[in-house]
Amino acid sequence: MKKFTNAVVYRQKEANEILVDKGIIKTIGSNLGLVDETIDLGGKLVIAPYVDPHLHLDYVYTLSELGQKSAGSGTLFEAIEMWPKFKENLTIESVKKLAIKGIRDEVSQGVQHVRTHIDVTDPKFTALKAMLEMKEELKDIVEIQIVAFPQEGMYTYRGGLELVEEALKMGADVVGGIPHYEPAREFGEKSIHDIVKLAIKYDKLIDVHCDETDDPHSRFVELLNALVLMEDYGTRTTASHTCSFGSANNSYAYRMIDLFKKSKMNFIACPTENAYLQGRQDTYPKRRGLTRVKEFMEEGINIAFAQDSINDPWYPMGNGNLMNILDNGIHLAQIMSPEVIEKDLDLITYNGARCLNIQDRYGLEVGKDANFIVLDGIVLLM
């Protein structure tokens, strides 16, 4: 039995001690008595570990390591076109070497849960094989959830759909997709149907790169939400990005927000990445590339923030610091009112855990895994 004492426990004003036994939180309170080992936290803040629910670990540091100096024009679609040149030389060793740098960036700054999208539009599954090995090798320091992600499309890439299915059989945890990249709306919609079918067939979670464009006519989120609502699969589903929803008109948006509440589908926004990628065809005014984070929070729709990229063809920066993502995100989404700011830290912790469906064992509560991080700051959290 171990006791962490002299702690400020997130959202538990009365408590200043945490008792841990065999990796599980036994008690949170005060004056918890003598135990074998006591660790003094010096009055610092204890919170649940950061969750990065959207990261491309097979891409991290490829921009500089694979000899490219520039990410081109900075649009999403140009980066996707560039990627095949990058990936043709990948080996299991090269993927692991760069991925470990990204994982070190994240874990050293407090992230303990990562959902990573791995490109499976590769008949050799080089990146997937590397990541399945790393998931097992690193399971004691970081939990990695793998998305079978068809970066070049389920139909745009010949055999893409079959590759996603094979990746699920190989051990990927989550079905991915990219409907706005398919060559016509009909194929984007077909991909959404196939994603939901595959998830149910193999009992997997869903996380779709959905409407990552400023085009308000990109509305694949509507079909995804409808299907998971009808299948009662919303809590196991995430729509990542949904940038176009930030450009949708209000009458459509409010109708959809009602339907999102019914399905209980999760959302992920990548504030730094999409502030960089979107608005590229705008002159001025220039859009922020962000979905309706503020409205989702107000309506109780689960939304989390994520890093997305670290130094890859899509985004030249990034360092796995989730606090930086949160800082940028709360500015771009304008969520700093006294009522909302108390919930902002959840965007990089509890809300991400819900996207990953690990809320049963995640968090600062008795009976849950004793994973937490210790921070200097306590401002606004008491």
- Give me the amino acid identity at 243: C
By CB under 5 A, the residues from 189 to 228 that bind Zn ion are none
Q: Report the DSSP pairing between strands 303-305 and 373-375.
A: unpaired
Residues 275-314: x/- map of binding to Zn ion (CB under 5 A)? ---------------------------------x------
Which of 222/308 has CB closer to Zn ion? 308
Angle in degrees, CA 29, 32, 33, rounded to 5: 170
CB 146 within 8 A of CB 174: yes
Phi and psi at residue 280, to the nearest 5°: -70, -25
- In the complex with Zn ion, the residue whose CB is nearer, 29 or 84, is 84
Who contacts 133 (Cβ-Cβ below 8 Å, separation ≥6)? 92, 96
Instruction: Show the DSSP H helices in 305-346 as ranges.
Output: 322-332, 338-341
| Closest C-alpha among 218, 264, 261 to residue 237 | 264
Whole-number minimum distance, CB 151 to Zn ion, in Å? 9
Q: How far is the CB of 115 from Zn ion (least distance, A)?
A: 10
Which tokens go with 324?
């930086």
Buried b (16+ CB within 10 A) or exposed e, 109-129: bbbbbbbbbbbbbbeebbbbb
Cα separation, 150 vs 156, whole angstroms: 10
Nearer of residues 18 and 90 to Zn ion, judged by Cβ? 90
Radius of gyration of the chain (CA): 21
User: Count residues contacting Zn ion (CB under 5 A)?
Assistant: 1
Q: Give bridge partners of residue 235 from the DSSP assignment.
A: none
Q: In the complex with Zn ion, which residue's Cβ is closer, 45 or 322? A: 322
212 is catalytic: yes
Among candidate residues 332, 318, 337, the one with its CA nearest the CA of residue 290:
332
Nearest approach, Cβ of 178 to Zn ion (angstroms)?
9
- Locate 42 and state its tokens: 């010096």
CB of 117 to Zn ion, least distance (A): 5
Cα 352 vs. chain centroid, distance in angstroms? 7
d(CA 211, CA 208): 9
Q: Which is nearer to Zn ion, 347 or 364 (CB)?
A: 347
Shortest spacing between CB 336 and Zn ion, in angstroms: 26
| Rounded least distance, CB 56 to Zn ion, Å | 6
- If the CB atoms of residues 212 and 369 are measured against Zn ion, the closer one turns out to be 212
Q: Taking the complex as a whole, how short is the minimal distance between the CB of residue 20 and Zn ion, in angstroms?
A: 35
Structure tokens at 275: 């502030």
Query: How far is residue 142's CA from residue 341's CA, in Å, rounded to a whole number?
Result: 28
- Name the catalytic one among 17, 212, 273, 295: 212
Query: Rounded to whole angstroms, how far apart are CA atoms 300 and 340?
Result: 12
Report which residue's Cβ sits closest to Zn ion: 308
In the complex, the smallest distance separating the C-beta of residue 209 from Zn ion, rounded to whole angstroms, is 5
Query: Which of positions 163-192 make contact with Zn ion (CB under 5 A)?
Result: none
Q: For Zn ion, which is the closer residue by CB, 152 or 308?
A: 308
Element (H, E) at 327: helix 322-332
With respect to Zn ion, which residue has the nearer C-beta, 135 or 209? 209
Residue type, 187: F
Give, as ranges, the residues between 308 and 337 that touch Zn ion (CB under 5 A). Answer: 308
- Residues forming the active site: 212
Q: Which residues bind Zn ion (CB under 5 A)?
A: 308
